[in-house]
Structure 1
């Protein structure tokens, strides 16, 4: 679980306000909205000007009277690096405070190994070698996403039930690059991407169901306007939906992840058409119109709807954001999925609970890139 406690000082509150508004900011408005004295806000604004976090805009006013000074958030005042670990690839990104990706490298390999951190170290060393020094000086941290669990209590990173890595390796990585290194479950980082950059902005309590090569989920709860929040990843991939079903690597039968991950859908479709190797191949017209593949996808939606129903009963969330690569293809199945979920339902909320991410498979990378920025600035 990642928990961000806002520091009890005015500077953090003012920054959070500025980040949310980004432009058309005046000292008077900030002072009134946050109930902080004008002189205190002015002192903070001057500090942010000196550190190039904000910039002065043209003064606004008419006539001969005194014009109001407005401010806006500066661009590229900080950078961070995001690293997302996938089944057969490692993605490294350089991003700015707005979540804009400025540099990307994708390395194809099997990264689900005990040597994961060492492989990240090698890739990161090469990645940084191509970044200009004036940019390096503004990098404030490294965020790493994994399709597993970070167990701080036992000091391990659990990639799978058989691959566990000592968390002390992260400390070594941090010392080597002299940067803060944060690591978390990819669903938690999807939630960060949605809250600060995506459709989660307007919600204080939501779930993200990330459907990728694996399946995972995160709860996002914001406690107040000033940015205190916490995230908690859950192992919904091992929620049993068919006790006589497929054998999972955990030893149980019928785990939800065995039926609704992106990988499981592709593997089933590949049995019909060997040319299907990626999710996008499933949704090609010539494939998706195939009767057998349509039946496979119909069954896939059955299993997906069963799990989502269980989640709604357990959590009664304000929103469920479906994230991951499959969200790009929502036009193919959104209406049918929602009908399956809400047919004869007794939920407290209606079908507007289910929404889809606009980031597709990028949400994990965006969240990993934003994590050091959020941790440092909020």
Structure 2
């Protein structure tokens, strides 16, 4: 029988619906899928058979009976394949290997500093190769690699500008695909962080949130109506380069007075050197936090100032987007103890009253690698979508 394009499209949509119900409601019976989806039992049975054959789902022991035979229950096979997610920082590469539901199997962290693109590429490949070697046996193997990069990334996955890495017009996606021959997604790391927080972190229950990635630079990922907002060309969220002082410091982006010059990890480290804390030429965030814990007032004052400056930019974001939630993530989230009171008090003092109604200000859970999980989820979802496009006649 000839199958029309419309019939194929309807079947793909129905198959996607069935798989989505199994993923979100495992274990679930065929009868419950039919009831919740509105599809007839024959259609559900046929689609379930395909998903079983493709090893995307599996059957478990019988469930509770509501009268008659106990139903066979269906579960998502989250170990059918594995995804790799990399958070490419300015001075670190953090990678995770996850199953198809975002559970971390293994992770790897590599630190680096002032490396060329070629050296950084070697480190990226080192992390990816380690994660691949750690993957358990599965029907589909590594289904994709996601990389969150700190810069402007277009919809084709090219890094057009990453000022803090010193990169311009880098096709990282092509470089990695040529080596590993699997689909690669390159996304702005703040967008990846927002998606990771929405799916796995404190953003689960919010449909309007902004994730502020405060590391060496600052970026933002925006979730609107439950979906990641990328902007017209995919360049949204470059809030670190919004001007908060038009006569201010010159930024490496070419602008003056950019927010990240006053409120980022790099701003903190630069200020610590200027005030010559302990006569050291080089300091780390970890060392500064240790000194703050030991009661060193000069360091505490610097951290509090960073908190105030961070709040200034966040106030602009609140007034622009009216979100339900702001999540402060990346490395400065580790300094929550000193930053949070300043952020909260500054927002309370300078945000319009009706913009403060019900808004939540949260800091990322340091045990949740939001950006790496976000891009790993993108890869897993793309794999499942591509499998569902392979419609059987």
Decide which of 3, 23, 28 is 1:19's aligned counterpart. Answer: 23
- Cα distance change of structure 1 residues 158 and 136 upon mapping to structure 2, 3 Å threshold: farther
- Cα distance change of structure 1 residues 121 and 253 upon mapping to structure 2, 3 Å threshold: closer
TM-score, normalised with respect to structure 2: 0.81
Question: 1:337 Cα deviation (Å)?
Answer: 1.8
Q: Are 2:360 and 1:353 aligned?
A: yes
Question: 1:63 Cα deviation (Å)?
Answer: 9.3
SS of corresponding position for 1:9: helix
User: What is the alpha-carbon root mean square deviation over aligned residues?
Assistant: 3.2
Q: What are the equivalent positions in structure 2 for 1:335-374 lying under 5 Å apart?
A: 335-343=341-349, 345-346=351-352, 347-350=354-357, 352-359=359-366, 362-374=369-381
Q: Are 2:142 and 1:139 aligned?
A: yes
Residues 189 and 364 in structure 1, CA contact (< 8 A), matched pair in contact too: yes
- Cα distance change of structure 1 residues 294 and 26 upon mapping to structure 2, 3 Å threshold: same
TM-score, normalised with respect to structure 1: 0.84
Q: What corresponds to 1:3 in structure 2?
A: none
Q: Are 2:213 and 1:206 aligned?
A: no
Residues 26 and 69 in structure 1, CA contact (< 8 A), matched pair in contact too: yes
Equivalences, count: 366
> What do residues 283-315 of structure 1 show as CA deviations (whole Å, max 9, x unaligned)?
336556222122212221221111111111111
Structure 1 window deviating more from structure 2 (129-138 vs 32-41): it is 129-138
**Where do 4+ consecutive residues of structure 1 move more than 6 Å?**
none
SS of corresponding position for 1:77: coil
Q: Are 2:311 and 1:305 aligned?
A: yes
- Cα distance change of structure 1 residues 115 and 32 upon mapping to structure 2, 3 Å threshold: same
Q: Are 2:288 and 1:279 aligned?
A: no
SS of corresponding position for 1:283: helix
- Structure 1: 5+ residue stretches without partners: 1-6
Question: 1:141 Cα deviation (Å)?
Answer: 0.8
- Cα distance change of structure 1 residues 288 and 121 upon mapping to structure 2, 3 Å threshold: closer
Residues 342 and 351 in structure 1, CA contact (< 8 A), matched pair in contact too: no
Residues 247 and 253 in structure 1, CA contact (< 8 A), matched pair in contact too: yes
> What do residues 195-222 of structure 1 show as CA deviations (whole Å, max 9, x unaligned)?
2222222222321111112210011235
Decide which of 216, 239, 244 is 1:241's aligned counterpart. Answer: 244
Q: What corresponds to 2:296 in structure 1?
A: 290
Question: 1:114 Cα deviation (Å)?
Answer: 4.0
- Cα distance change of structure 1 residues 343 and 121 upon mapping to structure 2, 3 Å threshold: closer
